[in-house]
Amino acid sequence: MKGRLLAAVVTTMAVLLSCATIQPRMGMTFNELYGQVARTECGWLELVSATGEISVYHVALPNPGCNQEIYYFFQDDQLVKTEQGQWYEKR
């Protein structure tokens, strides 16, 4: 009985972890978002542009559930904006 319960719990946790999504929120730190990206198997945050005080990143891997067309704007290690689109030119 305990073995079946443990197996059910482990299976449920595996399913929940595999369904993880990136959930950015304004003000979160770079490391917080980087951790979410890693947990969702999207790889890492790849630098797209750095101008002045703003650094722009997107997820590195095109795995299912990973949107490389969402750009994350950081200023002073805090997320200040997100934008979606193919328009952003990598530099």
Residue 16 has pLDDT above 80, yes or no: no
**89 in any annotated domain:** no
Q: What is the pTM of this model?
A: 0.74
Break the chain down into helix, strand, coil percent, rounded to 5: 30, 30, 40
- Asked whether the CA dihedral 42, 40, 73, 55 is positive or negative, the reply is negative
Share of the chain above pLDDT 90, in %: 66
Look at residue 68 and give its three-state secondary structure. coil
The alpha-helical segments, DSSP class H, found in the chain are: 2-18, 30-39
- Residue of 46 and 21 predicted with greater confidence: 46
pLDDT tens digit sequence for 70-90: 999 999 999 999 999 876 555
- The domain in which residue 56 lies consists of 2-84
- Residue of 22 and 7 predicted with greater confidence: 22
Tell me the one-letter amino acid at 52.
Answer: G
**90 in any annotated domain:** no
CATH of the domain at 8: 3.30.1450
- Residue of 88 and 50 predicted with greater confidence: 50
**79 in any annotated domain:** yes
CA-wise closest residue to 22 among 75, 79, 85: 79
